[in-house]
Structure 1
Amino acid sequence: MRIAFYAPMKAPDDPVASGDRLVARNLVAALERGGHEVALVSRFRSYDRGHRERQARLARLGARLAARLGRVLAEPGRRPDLWFTYHLYHKAPDHLGPAVAAALAIPYAVAEASVAQKQRGGRFDTGYRASLAALARADCVLTLNPNDAAGVAPHLRPGVPMEPLAPFVDAAPFLSAAAGRKAERASLAARHSLDPAKPWLVAAAMMRADQKLASYRVLAEALSLIAPQSFELLIAGTGPAEAEVRAAFAERGVAATFLGQVPSGEVPGLFAACDLYVWPAVKEAFGMALVEAQAAGLPVVAGTSPGVASVVGDGETGRLVPQGDPGAFSEAVRALLDPPRRAAGGAAARRNVVERHDIGAAAAALDRLLGETRRRFHAAQAATPPFERAG
Structure 2
Amino acid sequence: MRIGFYAPLKPPDHPAPSGDRRVARLFMAALRGMGHDIDLLSDLRSFNRDGDAVHEAATAEAAAAAVDRLSHRWLQEASRKPDLLFTYHVYHKAADYIGPALKQRFGLPYVIAEASDSPRRREGAWAKGYVQAAQALSAADAVLAITRYDLPPLIACAGARAQYFAPFIDTAPFMAAATQRQQHRKVLSARFGLPLDRPWLLAVGMMRSGDKLASFQRLAETLPLAADMGWHGILVGDGPERHTVQAAFAPLHNRITLTGQLDADSLAALYAASDLYIWPAVNEAYGMALLEAQAAALPVLSVNTRGVPDIVAHGETGWLTADDQPQTLASALHNLLGDQALRQRMAAAAPLRVARDLSMGAAQARLQTLFTQLGLPA
Calculate the TM-score normalised by the size of structure 2.
Answer: 0.94
Equivalent residue for 1:131, pick from 127, 133, 142 = 133
Q: 2:100 corresponds to which residue?
A: 98
Shift of 1:188: 1.2
C-alpha separation in 2, matches of 1:375 and 1:41: 20
Equivalent residue for 1:113, pick from 107, 112, 115 = 115
Report the AA paired with residue 316 of structure 1: E
C-alpha separation in 2, matches of 1:333 and 1:79: 54
C-alpha separation in 2, matches of 1:228 and 1:95: 55
Q: 1:259 corresponds to which residue?
A: 259
C-alpha separation in 2, matches of 1:73 and 1:270: 47
Q: 2:177 corresponds to which residue?
A: 177
Q: 2:287 corresponds to which residue?
A: 287
**SS at the partner of 1:225?**
helix
Report the AA paired with residue 72 of structure 1: R
Is the alpha carbon distance of 1:263 and 1:355 closer, same or farther for their aligned partners in structure 2, counting shifts above 3 Å?
same
Q: 1:380 corresponds to which residue?
A: none
C-alpha separation in 2, matches of 1:151 and 1:302: 25
C-alpha separation in 1, matches of 2:318 and 2:121: 35
Q: 1:365 corresponds to which residue?
A: 366
* Coordinate RMSD, CA, aligned: 1.7
Shift of 1:295: 0.3
Identity over the aligned pairs, expressed in percent?
Answer: 42
Q: 2:15 corresponds to which residue?
A: 15
Report the AA paired with residue 16 of structure 2: V
C-alpha separation in 2, matches of 1:371 and 1:125: 35
Shift of 1:267: 2.2
Is the alpha carbon distance of 1:323 and 1:68 closer, same or farther for their aligned partners in structure 2, counting shifts above 3 Å?
farther
Report if the CA contact (8 A) 1:220-1:254 is conserved. no
Q: 1:239 corresponds to which residue?
A: 239
Is the alpha carbon distance of 1:254 and 1:107 closer, same or farther for their aligned partners in structure 2, counting shifts above 3 Å?
farther
Shift of 1:271: 0.8
Q: 1:212 corresponds to which residue?
A: 212
Shift of 1:67: 2.0
Q: 2:91 corresponds to which residue?
A: 89
Is the alpha carbon distance of 1:73 and 1:220 closer, same or farther for their aligned partners in structure 2, counting shifts above 3 Å?
farther
C-alpha separation in 2, matches of 1:151 and 1:270: 38
Equivalent residue for 1:76, pick from 71, 78, 84 = 78
C-alpha separation in 1, matches of 2:103 and 2:256: 50
Report the AA paired with residue 340 of structure 1: A
Shift of 1:252: 5.6
Q: 2:166 corresponds to which residue?
A: 166
Q: 1:312 corresponds to which residue?
A: 312
Deviations 1:100-143 (A, max 9, x none): 12222210100111011221211111111110011111111111
Structure 2 unaligned blocks of 5 or more:
none
Report if the CA contact (8 A) 1:220-1:248 is conserved. yes
Shift of 1:228: 5.9
Is the alpha carbon distance of 1:146 and 1:326 closer, same or farther for their aligned partners in structure 2, counting shifts above 3 Å?
same
Is the alpha carbon distance of 1:91 and 1:228 closer, same or farther for their aligned partners in structure 2, counting shifts above 3 Å?
farther
Shift of 1:185: 1.2
Q: 1:67 corresponds to which residue?
A: 68
C-alpha separation in 2, matches of 1:20 and 1:41: 17
Report if the CA contact (8 A) 2:202-2:235 is conserved. yes
Q: 2:4 corresponds to which residue?
A: 4
C-alpha separation in 2, matches of 1:274 and 1:251: 22
C-alpha separation in 1, matches of 2:250 and 2:200: 18
**SS at the partner of 1:310?**
helix
Deviations 1:47-103 (A, max 9, x none): 111222212221222122222222223423211000000110011111111111222
Shift of 1:254: 7.4
- Give the paired residue count: 374
C-alpha separation in 1, matches of 2:55 and 2:233: 42
Report if the CA contact (8 A) 1:107-1:374 is conserved. no
Report if the CA contact (8 A) 1:221-1:252 is conserved. no
**SS at the partner of 1:183?**
helix
Report if the CA contact (8 A) 1:12-1:24 is conserved. yes
Is the alpha carbon distance of 1:228 and 1:64 closer, same or farther for their aligned partners in structure 2, counting shifts above 3 Å?
farther
Residue 146, structure 1, aligned to residue 148, structure 2: yes
Report the AA paired with residue 183 of structure 1: Q
C-alpha separation in 2, matches of 1:79 and 1:103: 12
Shift of 1:25: 1.3
Report if the CA contact (8 A) 2:283-2:306 is conserved. no
**SS at the partner of 2:226?**
coil
